[in-house]
Amino acid sequence: MVFLVVEPHSAAEALAAAKKLGCAIWLGSDALTEEEFDRWGAEGVDITRFVYPLGGAEHSVLEDAVSTVAQHHPSDVIWVQRASTAA
């Protein structure tokens, strides 16, 4: 199982779950600072950070991100955080 985090506000919860479950997590560059990324990696989380943001990204950018994750984790289920929309 792999988590793809789209927005910063859900990063901590997803990271804690990934650490507990021992699964991989991918995030947009806007979801964590470089220092946070380094800290979670040092704690043993299998974490990958895109060089571009995913929060507020167009659908095609999210689809490309999912495709990239799938290339690296071809046999895993990918859980994608649904981007919230302002009502």
Residue 32 above 50 pLDDT? Answer: yes
Is 86 contained in some domain?
A: no
Asked if 46 and 23 count as a contact pair (C-beta separation under 8 A), the reply is yes
| Number of structural domains the chain divides into | 1
Q: Which residues pair with 80 in a beta bridge?
A: 4
Q: Return d(Cα 40, Cα 48) in angstroms, integer.
A: 10
2-12 pLDDT per residue, tens: 999 998 888 99
50-64 pLDDT per residue, tens: 999 998 888 899 999
Domain that holds residue 13: 2-80
Q: Return d(Cα 48, Cα 28) in angstroms, integer.
A: 9
Domain CATH number, residue 8: 3.40.50
Model's pTM, two decimal places?
A: 0.88
**C-alpha triplet 64, 75, 8: angle, nearest 5°:** 45
